[in-house]
């Protein structure tokens, strides 16, 4: 989890490969209306995110029943994370990818194939409620994605790091 530009997809794909689990990107589950709104430079509201989060929560239950998965999702607010956790209290391990404003902005400015633009970073950072649980990874310019994944794997609970 983390704001746009934190590397959720890149790190998530590598982590899923390392763990032998499928990878899913939460962005793929946004409605066309949400994507259009963000592409136009407008932040999503809680109401905009409601159905998206409910869909992801349902899938998380299915993926857990099938042996687990890695999901890249912003999950910016605690209420969003609680929705994703679901009433079943799924055994999720949260990994928060955090970075400086400058690092995140530079990454977003380098992306040209994504609807999320650098101009929306401030709104995401304003919405972000940093979790006080799970794995917190402070991003730097000097680490490769593989090094970040190695740090995550080293901190995963035994159950989460078991490959299938």
Tell me, yes or no, whether 147 lies in a domain.
Answer: yes
Tell me, yes or no, whether 162 lies in a domain.
Answer: no
**Angle, CA of 43, 48 and 49, to the nearest 5°:** 95
- Residue 164's pLDDT is 44
> Which residue range(s) make up the domain with 139?
8-157
Tell me, yes or no, whether 164 lies in a domain.
Answer: no
pLDDT in tens, 65-121: 999 999 999 999 999 999 998 866 778 999 999 998 888 888 787 655 655 555 678
- State the Cα–Cα distance between residues 145 and 66, nearest whole angstrom: 27
The DSSP bridge partners found for residue 25 are 72
pTM: predicted TM-score of the whole model, two decimal places: 0.86
- State the Cα–Cα distance between residues 124 and 118, nearest whole angstrom: 10
Give the Å distances, CA to CA, from 46 to 31, 53, 70, 87, 153.
14, 10, 24, 19, 32
Tell me, yes or no, whether 92 lies in a domain.
Answer: yes
């Amino acid at each position: 989890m983390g704001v746009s530009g934190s590397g959720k997809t890149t790190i998530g794909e590598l982590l899923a490969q390392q763990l032998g689990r499928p990878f899913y990107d939460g962005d793929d589950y946004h409605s066309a209306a949400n994507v259009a709104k963000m592409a136009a430079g407008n932040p999503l509201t809680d109401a905009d995110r409601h159905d998206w989060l409910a869909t992801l929560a349902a899938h998380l239950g299915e993926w857990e029943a099938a042996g687990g998965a890695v999901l890249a999702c912003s999950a910016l607010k605690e209420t969003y994370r609680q929705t994703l956790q679901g009433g079943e209290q799924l055994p999720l391990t949260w990994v928060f990818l955090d970075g400086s404003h400058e690092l995140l902005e530079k990454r977003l400015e380098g992306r040209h194939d994504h609807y999320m633009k650098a101009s929306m970073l401030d709104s995401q950072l304003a919405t972000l409620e940093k979790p006080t649980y799970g794995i917190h990874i402070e991003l730097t310019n000097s680490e490769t994605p593989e090094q970040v994944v190695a740090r995550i794997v080293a901190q995963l609970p035994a159950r989460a790091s078991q490959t299938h």
